[in-house]
Amino acid sequence: MNPLSAPWLELAIGTAAVGSIVVGWLGRPDRVYRWGVAFIGSAFACSLLASLSFYAEGPAASPGARPSPLALDDLSAPLLPAVALLHLLTAVATARAHARRFSFSWSLAAEAIGLAIFATKGPWPLVGLLAASTVPPLVELRNRGRPTRLYALHMALFVGLLILGQTGVDARGPASAAPGWACLALTAAVLIRSGAAPAHCWVTDWFEHASFGIALLYALPLSGVYAAIRLVVPIAPDWCLRLIGLASLATAVYASAMAVVQREERRFFAFLFVGHAALVLVGLGIHTELSLCASLCLWFSAILSLCGFGLTLRALEARFGRLSLAVHHGLYERTPVLAVFFLLTGLASVGFPGTVGFVSVELLVDGAVDADLPAGIGVLAASALGGIAVLRAYLALFAGGRSDSSVAVGITRRERFAVTALTMLILAGGVFPQSGVKTRETAAAAILKDRARRGTAATPAKPGEAAASEPASPRSRPLR
Amino acid sequence: MTGFELWTRALGAVVVGGPVALTVALGGASLLGRPPREERTSRLVEATIVSGLLATLAMLVTMLATGSRRVAVDFGEWVAVADSYHFRIKFVFDRLSVPVAILSFVLIGTIGAFASRYLHRERGFNRFFVLYSVFALGMIATSLAGTMETLFAGWELVGLSSALLVGFYHERRAPSRNALWVWSVYRFSDAALLLAVVTMHRLRGAGDLDVLFGFAAWPEARADVTAAQAFLVGLLLLTAAAGKSALAPFSGWLPRAMEGPTPSSAVFYGALSVHLGAFLLMRTSPLWERSLAMGALVAALGLATAAFAHVVGAAGTDIKSALSFASLAQVGMIVAETGAAGVAGWVGGRASGDVAVAAAAAAVWLRYVALAHFLGHACLRTLQFLRAPTLLHDYHQLENAIGEGAPRPTAAAGRRGDARAEARRYRFALERGFLDAALTTFVAAPFTRALRRCDSLERRWTDWLSGEPSRESDQVKPRPGTFDEVL
């Protein structure tokens, strides 16, 4: 029997789900930690094998070919192991002293739901899973005794709009287009979940109140973008996607600018994250093959780089507590390795050369300028401001003074392993980007093909229009 | 592949591969927390620079021997998205890039040798050389770039290493503030360059300089674009160049950059980095020269910067600031020469008969003048910067040699015109033309105020939605001596 043909996808989700229950029964924190990491590691291995099986043997041989609501495709195949890796590295990098605070049981539950989301294409199962995914964060906030009203309000609105929109879409006849109000409801739901302004406040609030590790796990996979691709892009008219593009562009610029002036590191990170989520949606809103490919590349690079960046900030927090960015801390001499990782992952997130984000940002700017010059300028502005915000944070945390204490607070082995693994991926993706870009290009083409098949691309995307009216240039090709 | 192609490809690989390997070796060791010892770092740097320099010289000899004025080394496609996007790794050796690459290797090598002694046993020795290797890679990639995308990547590497070296002394606040200022200007200029790159890509369907400017060798290449397109792209390129080369109105960052260690000041702001904007204008001149207005604008901005730097530099009270403005004055002149070449080239393309021939010849001559000016000035300024720390010692030696105090300029000797005008001029120079003040008052402060206002509105909104104070971050209190004054 070919080992790759085993149901790895189901095993990955099942392992996380079973792990959540088993770990919940364990009492001692050290046992919880060991078993928790073992389950999360196993889930990662299974998801990696599921992804490999998809690429090695194609969708026909992958578990999705069997009668199961779960399936991988070009879009989700690399995202699944990325999400599992995010969980694994976050768990591994958790300091023993903080293992009590880090809820392995809820983290595994969230992982099971997250993996299931990324392996689901059907609208209603996806709506159900997205609704279910809002529960673990609520429990986390309650367990920590933090205010939940703001989060609950936003998520209730998100789930309500999602159900309303999908009901409207299902109510249409098979031959008719989805009603505008239903598309609008789905669009609003996606924008809320992705933290588009002014609904971004739940993201900043979430990062304020949750433990940093759990906050990363819930936010970074960008489930809102996945919902947009599965639920909105296939059926929404062009104006709906343009609305997503516009709202996201404004959010990207606003959030990146806000990141520059933040006085506390978690809020700074939250705004940086909101800016990235918005940039990913900008490419989706433009929905040309190039911009969509850029968007998918950026999504992947954001998961890796922001995870590394977040873990570095979390490691700093573990040593020094919540840090103000309004003062110089001069921590470089005490934690030089963390400083290097901070800079590297931070710059990767804003698309610095040699890192995985470089090509993504280049492609996105190219795609945006191709479709709409102001959109391109907006993307550039967001990227430039993000770069300023990252260096400002670096200088505030690591330079400008001498730390009072001489106690060594170097990086631990487990933290080093987690951040080094991410850094290697970030650099490898930056130096050899083509294979990754190729998979994203295939996924983008499949998404647009699906949209065209359903007849929702009533008017061609702008480059296509240009191609119809002007002599064909190699860069203004109509969508295939 | 012919023997010639194989040979040039091998040389190209050594020229570019050396700095890449150095960056990987020093950066990788730092990431693993095992930085190499000082002697090993110095030897690695020496080997990389010498091998790169020899390979570039070998390329020059090959070009002279074969009569090739232009050799392209194409390492193939790095990223491609269907036929919508192509990013090639390609390097071009021609009359512009070869001298600049040789100059870069010579000066970077000199600075490397100097710094290995100057920074001996400094805490930041390893950090300096990691940034130095990133700078060397960026400089070589920019100078030899055969595609605009490669040029942009190198440009960004140079910018980052420059900014981090300005903030090299981590224990003081001023370098951090100045590093952030420099970085902000650089990010603005990077954004302008990226927009220019994408626009060029869009105009011609590729970022390859051969496709953009035709296959003619510099300085004879001409791009096939309209005057309006040339003006639009030229404006973006000029903005990028102005940020990188500290042309007006961005000149304020140059003296701030002197916070870094002397070797970095020499190589970045005296010799190489500060000329990068001028280099960009030279490299892309076949495109923007198609617009007369653009040529005139480049020349005017160069002259204005030179005049500004001359006036402001006269009031400098420390040697590094004085040298930085002297450097800026010359960079302004180089840009003015490049702009004048553009105007002459435009006239050569439009006029007829003897006028056209004379104008075309003048354009070529001016391009060579600008290049020679760049090379000579970079060497002279490096020497001056490296001698700056021993200026007083040199002065005393001079006085000992002549047996009496050296003549010092009196206040009266420098006076021209009436006292009030003199005072105004002095104030203008002392405040560095009020450029930094203007940027702070009209750009940074309103930006920060508006966003802080948004932040405060957000707080009220989240407090209302939560029904209680929603921000834990408010309890994280800053200590005195805030970082906010940067913004």
Q: Which two three-digit tokens encode residue A404?
A: 């009072």
- Name which residue leads in pLDDT, A253 or B257: A253
> What's chain A's Rg over C-alpha atoms?
22
Residues on chain A touching B199 (C-beta within 8 angstroms): 369
Span A137-147, average pLDDT: 91
Residue B324 has pLDDT above 80, yes or no: yes
Span B81-85, average pLDDT: 83
Count how many pairs of residues, chain A against chain B, have C-beta atoms within 8 Å. Answer: 209
- The pLDDT score that the predictor gives to residue B485 is 39
CA distance A153 to chain B (A): 8
CA distance B331 to chain A (A): 26
Using the Cβ of A392 and the Cβ atoms of chain B, whether some distance falls under 8 Å is answered with yes
Q: Return the closest-CA partner of residue B73 out of B82, B86, B83, B62.
A: B62
Span B187-203, average pLDDT: 90
Residue of A nearest to B29 (CA): A337
Q: Return the closest-CA partner of residue A299 out of A88, A105, A118, A90.
A: A118
Segment 296-325 of chain A within 8 Å of chain B by CB:
321-325
Residue B319's pLDDT band, with cuts at 50, 70 and 90, is confident
Nearest to B176 among A323, A400, A475 (CB): A400
- Name which residue leads in pLDDT, B282 or B474: B282
> What are the DSSP E strand ranges found in A256-309?
none
- Name which residue leads in pLDDT, A333 or A173: A333
Residue B165 has pLDDT above 70, yes or no: yes
Using the Cβ of A204 and the Cβ atoms of chain B, whether some distance falls under 8 Å is answered with yes
Q: Which residue has the tokens 């050396």?
A: B18
- Determine the 3-state secondary structure of B88 from DSSP: strand
Nearest to A370 among B202, B447, B452 (CB): B202
Distance CA B267, CA B326 (A): 15
Distance CA B101, CA B108 (A): 10
Q: Return the closest-CA partner of residue B153 out of B75, B87, B55, B72.
A: B87
Name the CA dihedral angle for B259, B264, B270, B271, rounded to a multiple of 10 degrees: -160
Residue A173 has pLDDT above 60, yes or no: yes
Give DSSP secondary structure letters for B271-302: ISGGGHHHHHHHHTHHHHTT-HHHHHHHHHHH
Cα separations (Å) of B265 from A141, B223, B332, B439? 51, 36, 18, 23
Select from B439, B472, B477, B486 the residue whose CB has the most chain A CBs within 10 Å, as the one to mutate to test that interface: B472
- State which amino acid sits at residue B282: M
Using the Cβ of A398 and the Cβ atoms of chain B, whether some distance falls under 8 Å is answered with yes
Select from B23, B26, B31 the residue whose CB has the most chain A CBs within 10 Å, as the one to mutate to test that interface: B31
Segment 44-83 of chain B within 8 Å of chain A by CB:
77-83
Residues on chain B touching A211 (C-beta within 8 angstroms): none
Segment 18-37 of chain B within 8 Å of chain A by CB:
30-33
Task: Give percent above pLDDT 70 in chain A.
Answer: 89
Residue A335's pLDDT band, with cuts at 50, 70 and 90, is confident
Using the Cβ of A365 and the Cβ atoms of chain B, whether some distance falls under 8 Å is answered with yes
Distance CA A81, CA A46 (A): 8
Residue B425's pLDDT band, with cuts at 50, 70 and 90, is confident
Residue A471's pLDDT band, with cuts at 50, 70 and 90, is very low
Q: Return the closest-CA partner of residue A384 out of A235, A279, A306, A465.
A: A279
Q: Decide: B268 and B256 in contact? Cβ < 8 Å.
A: no
- The pLDDT score that the predictor gives to residue B483 is 42
Rounded to 5 degrees, φ, ψ at B81 are -120, 105
Segment 142-171 of chain A within 8 Å of chain B by CB:
147, 149-150, 153
β-bridge pairing B85-94 and B70-81: antiparallel
Nearest to A384 among B191, B448, B481 (CB): B191
- Helix or strand holding residue B80 (H, E): strand B70-81
Sequence-distant (≥ 6) Cβ neighbours of residue A147 within 8 angstroms: A141, A205, A209, B466, B467, B468, B470
Residue of B nearest to A390 (CA): B180
- The pLDDT score that the predictor gives to residue B416 is 59
Distance CA A161, CA B310 (A): 64
- Name which residue leads in pLDDT, B482 or B112: B112
Residue A68 has pLDDT above 60, yes or no: yes
Give buried/exposed letters for A188-214 (b at 16+ CB in 10 A, else e).
Answer: bbbbbbbbbbebbbbbbbbbbbbbbbb
**What length is written for chain B?**
487
Q: Decide: A235 and A227 in contact? Cβ < 8 Å.
A: no
- Name which residue leads in pLDDT, A77 or B262: A77
Lowest mean pLDDT of A403-417, B38-52, B235-249, B425-439, name the range: A403-417
Query: Cβ separation of B81 and A362 shorter than 8 Å?
Result: no
- The pLDDT score that the predictor gives to residue A226 is 96
* Domain spans of chain B, in order of start: 3-389, 436-469
Rounded to 5 degrees, φ, ψ at B185 are -65, -40
Span B111-163, pLDDT tens digits: 999 999 989 988 889 999 999 999 999 999 999 999 999 999 999 999 999 99
Residues on chain B touching A325 (C-beta within 8 angstroms): 483
Sequence-distant (≥ 6) Cβ neighbours of residue B295 within 8 angstroms: B288, B289, B339, B340, B341, B342, B343, B345, B346
Using the Cβ of A464 and the Cβ atoms of chain B, whether some distance falls under 8 Å is answered with no
- The pLDDT score that the predictor gives to residue A98 is 67
Number of C-alpha atoms within 13 angstroms, CB side, residue A220?
Answer: 31
Residues on chain B touching A333 (C-beta within 8 angstroms): 123, 170-171
Query: Cβ separation of A289 and B462 shorter than 8 Å?
Result: no
Average pLDDT score over chain B: 89
CA distance A205 to chain B (A): 7
Residue A404 has pLDDT above 70, yes or no: no
Degrees, nearest 5: CA angle B178-B181-B184: 150
Cα dihedral sign for B193, B194, B195, B201? positive
CA distance A388 to chain B (A): 6
Q: Decide: A252 and A195 in contact? Cβ < 8 Å.
A: no
- Name which residue leads in pLDDT, A163 or B260: A163
Using the Cβ of B452 and the Cβ atoms of chain A, whether some distance falls under 8 Å is answered with yes
Residues on chain B touching A326 (C-beta within 8 angstroms): 478, 482-484
Segment 179-198 of chain B within 8 Å of chain A by CB:
179-180, 183-184, 187-188, 190-191, 194-195, 198
CA distance B308 to chain A (A): 28
Span B373-416, pLDDT tens digits: 999 999 999 888 888 878 778 888 888 888 888 777 665 555 55
Residue A465 has pLDDT above 50, yes or no: no
CA distance A55 to chain B (A): 19
Using the Cβ of A452 and the Cβ atoms of chain B, whether some distance falls under 8 Å is answered with no
Select from B83, B89, B165, B476 the residue whose CB has the most chain A CBs within 10 Å, as the one to mutate to test that interface: B476
Query: Cβ separation of B476 and A322 shorter than 8 Å?
Result: yes
Give DSSP secondary structure letters for B312-361: HHTT--SHHHHHHHHHHHHHHHHHHHHHHHHHHHHHHHH--HHHHHHHHH
Rounded to 5 degrees, φ, ψ at A237 are -70, 165
pTM assigned to the model = 0.91
- State which amino acid sits at residue B88: R
- The pLDDT score that the predictor gives to residue A472 is 38
- Helix or strand holding residue B89 (H, E): strand B85-94
CA distance A148 to chain B (A): 7
CA distance B65 to chain A (A): 35
Query: Cβ separation of A327 and B473 shorter than 8 Å?
Result: no
- State which amino acid sits at residue A220: L
Residue B484 has pLDDT above 50, yes or no: no
Rounded to 5 degrees, φ, ψ at A423 are -65, -40
Residues on chain A touching B201 (C-beta within 8 angstroms): 366, 475
Using the Cβ of B467 and the Cβ atoms of chain A, whether some distance falls under 8 Å is answered with yes
Rounded to 5 degrees, φ, ψ at B404 are -155, 170
Span B206-225, pLDDT tens digits: 778 888 887 777 888 788 88
Residues on chain A touching B31 (C-beta within 8 angstroms): 337, 340-341, 344, 420, 423
Query: Cβ separation of A434 and B80 shorter than 8 Å?
Result: yes
Q: Return the closest-CA partner of residue A304 out of A356, A260, A251.
A: A356
Residue A466 CA, chain-centre distance (Å), reads: 32
Query: Cβ separation of A352 and B123 shorter than 8 Å?
Result: no
- The pLDDT score that the predictor gives to residue A309 is 95
Residues on chain B touching A208 (C-beta within 8 angstroms): 470-473
Span A197-234, pLDDT tens digits: 999 999 999 999 999 999 999 999 999 999 999 999 99
Neighbours of A407 (CB within 10 A): 8
